[in-house]
Amino acid sequence: MKKEKLDLYRENLIELQESHVLEKKELETDYLHGSQKEESGDLSAYSLHLADLAADTNEKEKNIRIISTLSDTLFEIDEALYRIEHGNYGICEECGKEIPEARLDVIPYAHFCIECKKVKGKGNNK
């Protein structure tokens, strides 16, 4: 891969990393803030409060899922940046072929080419 292209992906990855870190921070703040809201709930609207609690719980579960996905992605981004530094970025870890740039444009931290990803995806919905 050309150095210019590699620099571009590095930039993309760093940008992605920053936005993910920010998003994760926001969600974590929301999460902490949400538990404070529960404790100071308005008892005069008890049934409403219960509905709020349920919504809060759903919201929290959703937040935790998103936070964990963001953490996973941040880990992938770190790895991709490491690969850029060590000159093996954009190489499929399964077949050793170059991952098409069209794929890296969408997922700059991809480990596998589309073909290998398809094969690996079988029997595993991840």
Chain contacts with Zn ion (rule: CB under 5 A): 92, 94-95, 113, 116
Least distance in Å: CB of 91 to Zn ion?
9
112 burial level (CB within 10 Å; 0-12, 13-18, 19+): buried
**DSSP characters for 21-37?**
HHHHHHHHHHHHHHHHH
Q: Tell me whether residue 16 or residue 92 sits nearer to Zn ion (CB atom).
A: 92
Cα gap 116→26, rounded to integer Å:
35
Note whether 78 and 87 are within 8 A (CB).
no
Q: Which is nearer to Zn ion, 25 or 120 (CB)?
A: 120
Q: What's the length of the chain? A: 126
Amino acid identity for residue 83 in this structure: R
Nearer to Zn ion, 74 or 116 (CB): 116
The rounded distance, in Å, linking the Cα atoms of 16 and 73 is 9
Nearer of residues 20 and 117 to Zn ion, judged by Cβ: 117
